[in-house]
Amino acid sequence: MKHALTIFRVSLLTVVLLPHALWAGVVNIEPGAASAKLAKTAQVHTTAFQIALADHPEFLKSGKQMRKLRAKLRGQTIARVEYMHPGGTRVYHGRSGHSIRSTLASLKSGNRSSRPSEGTTTSGSDSETSLVDLSDDVAADAAEQVYYPENTREDARARLLPEEESVVQARDIGDGHVHAWDAEIKVFRTIENDIRTGVVLPGGKITGYVSKTICASCRAAIEEFAGEFDVTVDLYEMIEAGKDLPRTPTTVIEKSQASSRHLAKARKIDVDHRIDPQRIGNRRHVSWPGEARIDAFFLEESAQRATEDAGELAACDR
């Protein structure tokens, strides 16, 4: 009995002295819903393409290319990840896929790296046989910051960064995809870079949302990141809806699927509106989506375009 009491006292002392060690580095991924947050992040990335197209007037002459681009943008995975650390909070906004320049070039050439990923059930890389060189695309992606709002202490674009010396590594999981361009890889590598350069502090907590199911490659990379930087990660992945979704979702999976369907509709409306030859040349950036503006965005979109009821959208979100 005395021996057991001693063990209990030692265990209790360990819990009191090292509470952080018990929880840091934990990764939790489960179904969730966040159509409003993700739609606003998607809008920022779509607007970047809209602005960039003004520098590619030859692309606008082909209706087929424009249709393929709209399909590509609707299908890209979107990630919105909030990193809370001792120095504050920063939100990272990511999308899957190549740089804008490489995306447009692939669509023009018609090679397989331009095929839309719309409708896939995993967080999609751009292609099964990507012909884009990663190091070249890193440079192109960096130059395209001019098409986005300026990064702030609160919000930042998730960039395509070099894989050398990074713990966030894409893996070959045998599915035929190149996962180096996945939204989650971009987001967590950008956070890693911010930690290493002192922009944010290690040992924080992440809450994030991803528009598709997170693949095994990204799961492994996120776990490596969490362990390396002593970060607790809670991610909510959207489950794409099939045709048999009930009219009144009740389970967590059904609510996630309903939110995914609302997100798809909102993105289609926004992409079709912005990626239109008549609206190219708008140099006005969309601001980063602060929490106070998210609900206003959906109310405005619903009123102007009569799509989905904003209250229903909010009810589906976690």
48-94 per-position pLDDT tens digit: 999 999 999 989 989 999 999 999 999 999 999 999 999 999 999 99
- pTM for the predicted model, two decimal places: 0.81
For residues 189 and 181, give the distance between their C-alpha atoms in angstroms, rounded to a whole number.
11
pLDDT of 114 strictly over 50: no
Residue predicted with more confidence, 12 or 75: 75
Residue 2 predicted with pLDDT over 60: no
Measured at the CA of 222, the angle between CA 114 and CA 207, to 5 degrees, comes to 100
Q: What is the pLDDT of residues 259-284, one digit of tens each?
A: 999 999 999 999 999 999 988 876 66
Tell me the pLDDT tens digit for each residue of 134-148: 999 999 999 999 999
Express each pLDDT in 186-215 by its tens digit: 999 999 999 999 999 999 999 999 999 999
pLDDT at residue 101 above 70?
yes
Bridge partners (DSSP) of residue 237 are 31, 210
Tokens 């012909």 belong to 131
